[in-house]
A and B are shown apart, each in its own frame.
Chain A
């Protein structure tokens, strides 16, 4: 039990569609980050939220956006899906010793 829950676990979308991925962080963790992990690659930092505000962003276009809510849940939204967006999307909440990761959402864009 990691304490970070992501939904759904798997998802198939069509190119051009929009998708929302959800994450429930550990209680008390004010920081949540999202990562994209392509097959065979390390996780790539998308962005981070602290107390409901974005406070860091990786090299991802604006069609990747997010929200963090007061109840320690958060969302990753991706508009105008492209085939290259197919990946495992990981949510991580910040604890004292670093991140606790969820198991991820496997997104397939066809």
Chain B
């Protein structure tokens, strides 16, 4: 199972774009990259998932370079309510056997 490395914490201001990069050097061919958001004492919530290139949904974008050894979650115009821990996971979506890292603690300031 691929291990991921993310920055431990980040600070940002309301209205700014936030980019969180995740390193996953030993990603396997069948692995997808998935990002989750977690608030205190709640379960992680799915944000976005991708395999390669760029994926965009209503809340975020995910950029994956051709070698797939890293990925970047982009949150446009963050608000105070985006303060949370963000986890990057790499795993085979057919097996659901994911390893969580320590995540990135994002703090959005007014």
Contact = CB atoms under 8 A, between A and B. Distances in A.
B49 to A, nearest CB: 5
Contact of A48 (B97, B99, B103): B97
Contacts, number: 62
B97 A56 contact: yes
Mostly, the A contact residues are strand
A92 B102 contact: no
Contacts of B32: 98
Interface string A96-108: 1111111110100
Nearest to B87: A42
A31 B95 CA distance: 8
Contact of B98 (A41, A45, A102): A45
> Which bracket fits the contact residues of A?
20 to 34
B100 A98 contact: no
14 contacts: A2-B43, A33-B96, A42-B101, A43-B100, A44-B100, A45-B98, A45-B100, A90-B43, A99-B96, A101-B45, A103-B41, A103-B42, A104-B42, A106-B41
Interface of A: 2, 4, 31, 33, 35, 41-45, 48, 56, 88, 90, 92, 94, 96-104, 106
